[in-house]
Structure 1
Amino acid sequence: MLALICRALVARRVVSAAMFLLATLVTTALSLAPWYTSRAVDTATAARIAATPQAQRTVSANSKVSVDLAGATVLQTFAASAQRALALPVEGQAAGIELAATVTAGDRRLLIPLRYREELCANAVVDGHCPQATGDVVLSGQSAERLGVRVGDTLEVSTGPASAPRPLRLVGIYRPAEPLSWYWATATDAAWTTFDTVAAAGATVRATFDAMLSPPVFTHDGDLAPAIDRIHRVPLQVSTTGGALAERIAADRRAVERGVLVAAVQLAVIGWLAMTIAARYAAEERRFDAAQLALRGARRWRVLVATSGQSGVPLAAGVVVGGLVGALTGGLDRLPIAGGVLAAALAAAVLADWRTTRLPVERLLHTATPKPPRLGAAVVEVCVLALAGASTYQSLATSDTIGVQLFAPALLAASAAILVGRLLVPAATAVGRSALVTGRLAAGFGALLLARRSSAYRMLPLLAAASCLFMLAAQDWAEARDARHQRSQVEVGGRRVLTVAPGDRVRLLNAVRSADPGGHEAMAVVAAAGPAGEPVLAVDSPRLPYVLAAPAALDSRRLRPAAPAPITFAGTSLTLAASVPAADALPDVGAHPPTGPPVLLATLVVAATGLPVTARFAPVEGAGGTVGASVPDCRNGCRLVSFELVGGRAVELRQLDADGQAVITPAVFADPGRWRTGAGNIAATVSMRSYDGRLALAAVTAGLSKLPIDDRLYVVDAPVPLPVAVAGRLPEPDGRGTGTLDPFGSRAVPVEPFAVPLLPGIGTRGILVDLEYAERVAGGAPSAERQQVWLAPGAPADLTDRLRAAGLTIVGEDSVDAADARQARFGPAAAARFGLLMGLLGLVAAAIALVVIAAVQRRARSDEFVALRRQGVPARALSAAGRWAALVPTVLAALTAALIATVARVLTHSPVPVFTDGWPDRAAAPSVRALALLVGVAVIAALFAACALAPQYHRSGRRWRR
C-alpha cells in the first residue's frame, strides 16, 4: 500500500509538492507564533523601560526615627530594613535623613528642609565643594538668590520654636547633574548638609530610602505590589511611580498575545480550508485509481487509505517539517500545535476522499466530475451567510474581538463571494453566447469556459476571505504606522530636539535667538514638572508655529498677549531718589512693621546671562535725598525685577537713574499698572500706593498666615494672570476664583487656562506656557528641569554649530524618526506586524490551493483545447480565453475583498488597539487607507493570477498549442 501511494505521489508530483508546501507553511507559522509572542513581549518591555524616565521607576519609603543614642547607625538599620522589605533588584539606592527648618541670612528667611542623603556629590554639580564638616551646607541657586548669599557666607538654621539658631557655612551652590535621574525624583529643593548637622538639630528626624527598580521587576507580573505591601507592614510610608510602567508593560503583553492569537487562529482556519479544498480537488483526479482498486476487489477502507494517503502523506510530511522548525525554536512544547495541525490535515484528507470511495464503480469511471448535491451546497452557503450576520451583530454589540466576531470580516467576504459566484455562472453564460453570435471568439470561449468551471466560483469564498483578512491587516498596519507617526510628531515637538546642559533660562533664550535671528529655525524650550506631576513646557511661543514637526490645534498667539515693556538699563551705578514719608502719608494698612531707617533692595537680572544681581540702597533717610548702589555686573545691560523693603517702616520712590540716565521716571513710579505685589497663593508683606509722581511702599506683617511669604514689589512686564494652554484637567481655582500654577518650582502665579486636545512636546496631559513671560512672572534659578532646543523641519545642518558657538552644550538628541523607531518596538506595533505576516501567509495558502486546482484540471482543459483546435478555433483565441477564464475569478476575489475590507473595518473592531496607554487613536489619512487597499488588491491579483495562469499541457507532455 505504501509503495502504491509513493508511486502515485511521484506521478502527481506537482499536487503532492503543493500540498506538502501548504502544510509546511501553516504548521511552521503556527508553531513559531509562541516564539514570536515571547520575543515581541521581551522587545516591547525593553523598549518601554528604555523610553520611560528613571523617575517613573522609583520606590520611596520614609519613617520617623530617633538619632539620640544610635547616631548614624539608625540610618543604616532603617535602610537595611527597607531593603529587606523591598526584596527586589535595584539599579541604585540612597538613604538619608531630613528635618523641616528655617534658614536665615540677615533679614531674609527661607523655609526649607535641612537634609542629608547618600551619594549627593556623585549626583550633583557643586560650585564650591560638598559638605564635609558639621555645619557645612550647600544650597540651590534659587535658594541662594532668595537669601541673597554667596559661597562663604554664614547662615543660621532653626529647626523649631524651641530650638536655638545654629550657624551654617555655605560651602557651595549645587545643581543636579542629571535632573531627570532617579536620584532627584523625590529630592525637592533643600539645604543639603552632613548627617551630624541634621542629627544635631533634634532627636527625631525623618529617614528616607529611595531606590530605582531594575528592569526585571517589570517583566514578572505581581512582583511590585507584594513588595509595596511588605514595606507597609514594616511599617513605613511608601510611594512608587513604577505602577504606571508596570501597567503599560502588562498592556503591551496583552496586546501582543491578543494580536498573535487572533492572527494565528485566522491563519489556522484559512490554512485548514485551503488544505480541505486542495484535498477535495485532488481527490477528483484519483477517481480512476479508486475505480481500479475497487475492480480488483479491494475493500473500501483499503481504497480510502490508498486514495486519501496521496493527500495525507504530503500533508503529514509538511506538518512534521513545520513541527521540527517550531521545536528547534521553542522546544518540545510546540509539538502539540503540530499535532493539532496534523489531526486537522488528516481529517481533511480523509473527508475529501470519503465521498469518492463510496461512489459506484460506474460513476467513478465517468470522465465528467460528479456534481455535489445541490441541497448540501445550499446548506453550506446558508450557514456561511448566517454566521456572517451573527458575527457582524456581535461586533457591533461588543468591543471584544475574541469569539465568533473574530471571523466577521472573513465571513462577510465569503458571503459576498458566494453571491458573486451565484451571479457569475448565468452572467458568464449570457456573455459567452452573445460573444459567439457576434464573432468574438476569445470572449465567447473565455466566458463559456468560466461558466463551465465549477472551481471558478467554488474557490471564490476562500480567495475572498483570505484576501479580506490580508487587506484588513494591511489597513490596520498602515493606519497604526500613520497614527504612531502623528503621535511621534506631537510628543517630540520639533523635527529634531536637542537637549542642552542646564543653565539659566535667559541665557538659553538669548543663545537660541542669536543662533537663529530669523526665528524660523530653532526655539528654546524648558520642560519641568507641575505640582501634580503633570508636565509643564515653557516655549518661546512666537517661534512655535515654525518649528513644529506637524501643525498643532493651538493658536500660539494666545500664549503671548501684549504686555508692558520690561524696565532695562546699562550702567555700573544706580542712583535712587527716595525719602521716608510722613506718618500721615503712609498707606493705611493697619500694620505694625519695624522702625528705623528703611533699607531697599532692588533685584536685577543680567540681560545676557540671566544671573541675579542685588542692588542695596541703604539707608534711606530724610524727606528728599538720593542713595546710590554699585552694580558693575550691569555694564552691558540688566532688567529690573523687583524692589524689596527689608528694613524700616515705609519708603517713597521718585526716580531711578543709571550712570546719570533716567531708568524709572516719576510718571512710571506713579503708574499703578506697572507694579504688583506677589502673585498667586502667597502672603504679601508689602503694600504699595502710587500718588503725586511717587511710589510709596509700606511693610505689612504676615500675621498667622500659613501661605508662603513674598515681600517683594514686582515690575509688571508680563500679563498676570499668565495665559496657559492646558491638555487634560484644568488647574483648580483658588479662593479668589483664579487657577494657579508653579511652572518652574519657584513660585505659584495666577493663570488663565484655555483647553486644547493635544499639546506639542507633551501630549494629552500637560501645560504649555510662554517661556519669557513665565520667566518674568515666576522665574528663579533652574533646578529639576530639562532645557531643549527644538529644530524646525528643514533646519540647516550648521545650526547645531551655531548653537554651540552661542554657548550651549548639547548633551542629547531626539527626533521624530527616533520616536517612530521606539514606538515600532512596542506591543501593538509588533502585533500589527504579525497580523500582516499571517494575512500574507493566508494569501499564499489560498494561492497554493489554487495551484492544486489548476494542476488537477490541467489534463481536462488540455483535452478540450486540443479538440477545439482540431475544429479550427485559432490558437490565439484559445490562449486569450484561457487567460480570461483564469483572471476573472482572481480579479473578482480581489475586488470583493477590497469592498468588504472597507466596510468591515467600519462595522467591526480592530483586534489590537494602536495605543495601550489611553492616547486617542486619530483617524488615518484617507490616502493611507486607499494606498493600503490598492497595494492589497495589486498583491492579491498578482499572486492569484500567477497561480491561475499556469500553462496548460497535453497529456503527451507537449503544449496544446503545439
Structure 2
Amino acid sequence: MFGLILRAIASRRAPAVTLFLLTVLSAGAAAAAPQYIATTTRDLAAATAEAAAVDARTVTLRRELDQRELRPDAVKQAEREVSDALGLPELTVRGGLQVNGSIVAGGTSTNLLLAYRTGFCDQLVLDGACPSRPGEVAVDEATARRFGVKAGDRLAYAPGFEKDPFTVSGVYRITDPFSDYWAASRLPISGTPTLAPVLTMPETIVAANPQASTLAVDAVGGQDLFAHVPPLAVRDRIVKAIPVLGQRGYEAQTPLRSLAVGIYNSQLDIVYAVPISLIELLAFCWIALFLAVRHGALERHRDVGLLKLRGTAQLRILSLTLGQSGVPMLAGGLVGLAAAIPLRAGGGIASASATTTDLLSVAAAAVTVLGAILAAAVAERRALAAPVALLMRAVPPRRSGWRYGAVDGVLVILALAGAYEAWSYASRDPAQGAAYQSTWLALLAPALLALALGVVLARFVGPASAEVGRRALRAGRLGVAFTATELARRPAVPRLTALLTAAVTLFCVAVTTSDTTTRSGQERAATEIGADRVLRVSAPSRAVLLAATRSIDPQGDFLMAVVASPNVGVLAVDATRLATVARWRGEYGGTDVAAVAARLRPQRPEPLTVTGSELTLRAAALRGGATVAATLQAADGSAVKVDFGLITGGAADYRKPAEGCADGCKLVSFKIVGVGAVAAGERPIGDPPPEYPAPDAVLFSALRGTTGGIDPPAFADRSRWRTASGGGQIPTAVSVTPEGLVLTPDDPVNSDPLVFVDESPERLPAIAAGVKQAELAAADPHLQAFPGSLIPVAVAGGAHTVPLVGRDAMLVDLETADVMTGDLGGGDSMQVWATDAAPADLADRLAEHHVDTYGTGTIAEQAERYSRQAPPSTIRFQLVAAALMVLLAAGALGVIVAVERRPRRTELAALRHQGLGARTARRAMFGGYLVVAAVALVAGLVAALPARTILAAPLSAFPDRWDVLPAPAALRPGPLFLAAAAAALVFALVVLLASGRSRRDGGEST
C-alpha cells in the first residue's frame, strides 16, 4: 500500500511538492510562534526597562525620625531593613537623611536642605574635598555664588550651627543629575528654583539635633532588572514587602511595581495578539490546502472510478487518495518543525519554562499538520461519495447546494461584527478605556473583511466572465472569449479569487501597518533625542560648553551645545547651529528652521572686552568706599575672577593679575559691596541722582589690559549696564556721569552686589509650546532657564512641541539666555548634539576642552528600543504571517494551474487543428488565471484601504499611547503599491511556471 502511494506521488510530483512546501511553511511558522513570543516578551521587558525613567524603576520609602531615633547608623540600619523586606538582590538600595533648615548670612536666613546620602562623594565633581568629619559640608556652585563662599570658608546654619558655623570643605557640581543615583534620591538638585542641598556626614546631622528629620531609602532596579527577574515576581515581592515596612513606620511610593505590571500587561498583548495572526495563518493554510487537494483530486477521479468498478473497499480507496496528500504533509510538518529548532528562545513565556515553550512549538506544528490532513480528507470526500459515472467524466463537477451560500453569509456577518468591534475599540475614550482590551473578533476584523469581500467578489466572477465571453464571441475576439469561458466554467475560480483577494488584502495591511509603526518609532525617537547622536556631558559652565563645541566645529556643521531643563520645560540650544544639527520638524515652531533660529537670536551689542594678563581698573570712591571684584569670561568660556580690593579716596588705578585673559576676556559683571560708612538717616530717599551720589558710591572710568580695554565712553553709556533680573535683594543703584559709571550699593546686608554688562535684549525670545504659550501671555513673564536664575521672556513664536523636553515647553537660544543670566553657571542637563558626520573621537576632543562625557544616545538606538515593544513585535509576526499567506495562496494557485494544464492543452491542441491561431491559443493558455490574479490584486488593494484605516486600529504604535506628535499617515502609496507589486510578481511567476511551455500546436511540450 505505502509503495503504491509513493508511486502515485512520483507520477504527480508537482502537486505533491507544492503540498510539501506549503506544509513546511505553515508548520514552521506555527512551531516558531511560541519561540517568537518567548523571545519578544523577554526583549520587551528589557527594552521597556531601558527606556523607563529612573524614578519609574524605583521604590521610595520615607520615615520621619524624632530626636531619640536619630543616630549616625540609622541610614545603614534602614538600608538593611528595606533590602531584607524586598528580597530582590537585583535592586540597589541607598539611604539618606534630610533636615529642613536655613543658612544664616548677613542677618537673613535662606531655606536650604541639609542632607546625607550613601556614597554621594563618588557622584560629584568637587572643588576642594568631600566632607569627612562632623561640621564639614559641601555646597553646590549656585549656593557658593549666592553666598560668596569657597572651600575653607565658614557658613552658619540653623539648627545647630549658628554659633559654630560649618566648614565648607568643597564646592560640588553634580556630574549627571539624571543618573540612577541622583534621580532616585528625589533631592532638589535640578529643575527647581530651590537651591541644591548642603551635603554632609550623618554625624553632622546628628550634631545639629533637629526637632525632626526624614529618613529616605530608595531601591532602584537597573535597566537589566527584568532580564533576571520576571515582572510578576518583582510585583509580588513589592506587594509583600510594603505592609511589613509600613508596620515599621515607612511610607512607600512604588513606581517600580507599576512598571512591572505595565510590562506584564504589554507581554500579555504579545501573548494575546501573536496567536491571532497564527490562527489567521493556519486557517489560511487549511483553506489553501483544501483548494489545492480538492482541485488536485480531479486528476484522480478516473482512478477512483476504476477502483470502485473493481470493487475496492472504501477504506482502501481513502488510504490511497488521502495518502497522496497526507504523506507530503507529514513530511512537510517534520521539516517545518526541524526548521524552527534554530529559533529556540532558550526561555519560557512569562513564568513558563523553556521546556514548556518547546512543547508548545511541537503541539502547534502537530495541530497544523493534523488540520491540513483533515482539510485534505474533507476535500477528498466528494470523490469517495460520487457515483462512478460522474467520476469517469472529463468535465469537472459544478458546485451546488445551500452550504456554500451559508458559509459566505456567515463570513459576511462575522466581518460586520468584527468591523463594529474594531470601530468601537478605536473610538473609545482613552480615559475610560485605558485597561480595556480589544476582543479577538476586533483583532480578526481585517482578515474577516478580506475573506468576506473575497467571497462576495467570487459571486460575481462566474457570471461576469460568462457575459464577457459571450460578448467577445460576438465580437470575434477568440482569445478573450476562450479566457472568459475558461473562468466561467472552472469551479475553482470563485474560491481561488476569494483566497487570493484575502491574501493581497492582509499582506497590504501588514506592510502598511509595519511602515506606520516603524515611522512612529523613528519620529518619537527623533523627538526625544533631538539629533542623530547626543552626548550627555559635564562642563564647568554653559559658556565653556559653547566654546568647546564652537572650537571643535568652527563652521557649525555637526556640533551644537544644548542645556535642557526637562522639569521646567526649557530647552536652550545654540541657535546658530540649529538648522544643521537638530532633526527639525515643522511642529517645533515652523518648517523654516533658519527663520526660527533668527527669531531666537536678536541683534545684540558688541561685548566689552579687555586683553592682558594684568588688568588696571580706574576708579574713585565718591563717598564712603566699597570692595570691588570683576568677573570676566575667557575665550574658552571659563570664568576669570579679579579682586580689585577696597576702593577709597580719589581717582586711582587698581592693578591686579588676571590669569586667563592673555588672549582676551569679556567683562561680565562687577561685584560691589559698600562699607556702610554713612548712617541710614543720612541717605537720600529714592534713587540718587548722578550729581548727588549716595553713600558708598564708586565711579568706574576705565578697565585696561596690556593692549586696549574699556574706555570712559563705554562706562558712561547707561544702556550697557543692568542689575540682576527678577526679585531678590535691593539692587545696586546704577547711574552715569560724563566721567563714567556710578554704582551706589545699599547697605551690605540688603544689597544685591552684582551689576552686569548689558549685552542682551530686554526680554529673552522664546518659542513656546502647549500651556507655556498661555503662561507667557502674563503681564511680566519670567522663566527659569537655569537653576536659580529668572529671566524676562517674550514669545517669539508658537510650536506644537519642543524636542526632548515635551509638549508644554519653551525653546530658547543658549548664548542669549546665558548672557542674560550672567552667573557663568551650568544647567540641569548639559548636552552636545551631533550629526552622523561628527568625528568618532568626539568625546576625547571635548575632554581636551574640559567637557567630560558620561553618556551617549542615538536616534537609532532609541528607535530600536521602541521596535522591541509590544505593538511592533506583534506587527512583525503579522507581516511574516501575511507574507506566508501570499505564498500559500500562490501555492494553491500553482496546484490548480498545474492540474488543469494537461486537459487544457489537450483542448487547445484540438482547436489548433481546427484552425485556431497560435497567439490566441497561448493567450487562452496563460491568460485565464493571470486574469484571476489581476482581479484579486485590484480587489485586495481596494479592500486594504478600509481594513487598514478603520479596522486595524486596535494596535497602537506605543503601549503608553504617546501622542506628543501627530500620528503618521496610516497609508502611504509607496509601501501599499510595493506590497501589491510583490504579490503580483509571486502570482505571475507561479502561473507561468505551473503552466509550462506550450508547443506551437498547443500540445504538451516535450
Deviates more, 1:838-847 or 1:351-360: 351-360
Q: What's the counterpart of residue 742 of structure 1?
A: 784
1:235 to 244, 249, 255: 249
User: Do the aligned residues in 2 keep the contact of 1:676 with 1:713 (CA within 8 Å)?
Assistant: yes
- Corresponding residue number in structure 1 for 2:814: 771
What is the CA–CA distance in structure 1 between the aligned matches of 2:957 and 2:869, rounded to whole Å? 10
Matches within 5 A, 1:881-896: 881-896=924-939
* Alignment match, 2:214: 206
Which amino acid letter does the alignment assign opposite residue 199 of structure 1? V
Distance 1:255 1:688, change over 3 A: farther
Aligned to 1:281: 295
What does residue range 413-428 of structure 1 map to in structure 2 within 5 Å?
Answer: 413-418=450-455, 420-428=457-465
**Measured at CA, do residues 602 and 953 of structure 1 come closer, stay the same or move farther in structure 2, by a change above 3 Å?**
closer
Among candidates 619, 625, 632, match of residue 658 of structure 2: 632
Is 1:678–1:713's contact at 8 Å kept on the other side of the alignment?
no
**Which amino acid counterpart does residue 359 of structure 1 have in structure 2?**
A
Deviation at 1:462, TM superposition (A): 0.5
Relative to 1, partners in 2 of residues 1:450 and 1:236: Cα closer, same or farther, differing over 3 Å? same
Look up the equivalent residue of 2:364 and give its one-letter code: I
463, 472, 475: which one pairs with 2:500?
463
Match of residue 587 from structure 1: none
Please give the residue correspondences for 1:607-646 in structure 2 after superposition, counting only pairs within 5 Å.
607-613=634-640, 628=654, 630=656, 632-633=658-659, 634=661, 636-641=664-669, 643-645=671-673
Preserved CA contact (<8 Å) 2:601 2:813: yes
Give the Cα–Cα distance (whole angstroms) in 2 for the partners of residues 22 and 668 of structure 1.
88
Is 2:1004 aligned against 1:960?
A: yes
State the partner residue of 2:433.
none
Give the aligned partner of residue 356 of structure 1.
383
Instruction: Establish whether residue 181 from structure 1 lines up as the match of residue 226 from structure 2.
Output: no
3-state SS, counterpart of residue 144 of structure 2: helix
**Does the 8 Å CA contact 2:234/2:257 hold for their aligned counterparts?**
no
Question: Which moves more between the two structures, 557-566 or 939-948?
Answer: 557-566
For the residues of structure 2 that align with 1:853 and 1:945, how far apart are their CA atoms?
Answer: 14
CA–CA distance in structure 1, aligned partners of residues 998 and 597 of structure 2:
76
Match of 2:901?
A: 858
Following TM superposition, by how much is the alpha carbon of 1:570 offset from its aligned partner in structure 2, in angstroms?
4.5
Partner Cα separation in structure 2 for residue 941 and residue 734 of structure 1: 57
Matches within 5 A, 1:268-667: 268-297=282-311, 303-304=317-318, 306-319=320-333, 322=336, 329=344, 330-373=357-400, 375-399=402-426, 402-418=439-455, 420-429=457-466, 432=469, 442-531=479-568, 536-553=570-587, 554=589, 555-562=596-603, 567-570=608-611, 572-580=615-623, 599-602=626-629, 604-613=631-640, 628=654, 630=656, 632-633=658-659, 634=661, 636-641=664-669, 643-645=671-673, 647-648=675-676, 650-659=695-704, 663=710
CA distance in 2 between counterparts of 1:391 and 1:101 reads 64
Return the alpha-carbon distance in structure 2 between the equivalents of residues 262 and 700 of structure 1: 78
**Distance (Å, rounded) in 1 between the aligned partners of 2:607 and 2:851:** 25
Number of the residue aligned with 2:155: 156
Preserved CA contact (<8 Å) 2:546 2:637: no
Unaligned runs of 5+ in 1: 581-596, 704-708
Do the aligned partners of 1:645 and 1:711 also contact (CA within 8 Å) in 2?
A: yes
Instruction: Report if aligned partners of 2:633, 2:668 keep a CA contact under 8 Å in 1.
Output: no
1:65-214 correspondence to structure 2 within 5 Å: 65=65, 71-90=71-90, 92-103=92-103, 111-151=111-151, 153-160=152-159, 164-185=162-183, 186=185, 187=187, 188=189, 189-202=196-209, 204-214=212-222
Q: Residue type of the partner of 1:220?
A: P
Does the 8 Å contact 1:687/1:699 carry over to 2?
yes
Q: What is the alpha-carbon distance in structure 1 between the residues aligned to residue 98 and residue 114 of structure 2?
A: 6
Alpha carbons of 1:111 and 1:946: their partners in 2 closer, same or farther (altered >3 Å)? same
Identity of matched residues, %? 29
CA-CA distance at 1:757 after TM superposition: 1.8
Amino acid at match of 2:562: V
Q: Which residue identity is paired with 1:117?
A: R
**In structure 2, C-alpha distance between the alignment counterparts of 1:849 and 1:734, rounded to whole Å:** 66
Once residues 337 and 721 of structure 1 are traced to their aligned partners in structure 2, the CA distance between those partners, rounded to angstroms, is 68
**Distance in 2, Cα, partners of 1:48 & 1:933:** 31
Match of 2:690 in 1: none
Indicate the larger mover: 36-45 or 114-123: 114-123
CA contact (8 A) 1:952 1:959 kept: no
Cα gap change, 1:802/1:344 in structure 2, threshold over 3 Å: closer, same or farther?
closer
- 3-state SS in 2 of match to 1:934: helix
- Kindly provide the CA deviation profile for residues 884-941 of structure 1, in whole angstroms up to 9, marking residues without a partner as x: 2232111221222122213432232344222233333645479x82221222122211
Q: How far apart are 1:509 and its partner, in Å? A: 1.2
Q: Work out whether 1:912 is the aligned partner of 2:955.
A: yes
SS at match of 1:331: helix
CA distance in 2, matches of 1:516, 1:667: 33
Give the secondary structure class of the aligned counterpart of 2:803.
Answer: coil
TM-score w.r.t. the length of structure 2 is 0.82
Mark the CA change 1:116 to 1:146 in structure 2 (over 3 Å): closer, same or farther: same
Which residue does 2:746 correspond to in 1?
Answer: 699
Counterparts of 1:848 and 1:614, CA distance in 2? 82
**Aligned mates of 1:418, 1:406 — CA distance in 2:** 20
Report the CA distance between 1:837 and its aligned residue: 0.6
Q: 3-state DSSP class of the match of 1:398?
A: helix
Cα distance change on mapping 1:419 and 1:82 into 2, 3 Å: closer
* C-alpha distance in 2 between matches for 1:59 and 1:724: 37
Q: Mark the CA change 1:300 to 1:69 in structure 2 (over 3 Å): closer, same or farther.
A: closer
Aligned partners of 2:366, 2:55: CA distance in 1, in Å?
48
2:983 aligns with one of 918, 940, 945: 940
Q: Equivalent residue of 2:389, what SS? A: helix
State the one-letter code of the partner of 1:537: L
Q: Unaligned 5+ residue runs, structure 2? A: 190-195, 345-356, 427-436, 590-595, 681-694
The answer to whether the aligner puts 1:46 opposite 2:46 as a matched pair is: yes
Separation in 2, partners of 1:453, 1:240 = 67
Q: Is contact 1:725-1:755 (8 Å) kept? A: yes
Q: In structure 1, how many angstroms separate the alpha carbons of the residues matched to 2:272 and 2:599?
A: 44
Q: CA deviation at 1:371?
A: 0.9
Cross-structure match for 2:234: 223
Change (3 A) 1:211 1:415: closer
Deviations 1:781-802 (A, max 9, x none): 6567443332356668898887
Q: Which amino acid in 2 is paired with 1:115?
A: A
What is the count of residue pairs matched by the alignment? 930
Partners of 2:198 and 2:824 lie apart in 1 by 15
The letter for the 1-side match of 2:179 is S
Q: 1:750 to 1:60 in 2, by over 3 A?
A: farther
Q: In structure 2, how many angstroms separate the alpha carbons of the residues matched to 1:787 and 1:69?
A: 40
**In 2, Cα distance between the equivalents of 1:549 and 1:9?**
61
Higher mean displacement: 387-396 or 877-886: 387-396
TM-score by length of 1: 0.85
Deviation at 1:620, TM superposition (A): 6.0
Matched ranges for 1:661-740 at <5 A? 663=710, 671=718, 674-679=721-726, 682-686=727-731, 688=733, 690=735, 697=744, 699=746, 712=754, 714-719=756-761, 722-730=764-772, 738=780, 740=782
Q: Distance in 1 between matches of 2:801 and 2:258?
A: 21
Q: Would the aligned equivalents of 1:31 and 1:338 in 2 still touch at CA under 8 Å?
A: yes
Deviation at 1:320, TM superposition (A): 5.4
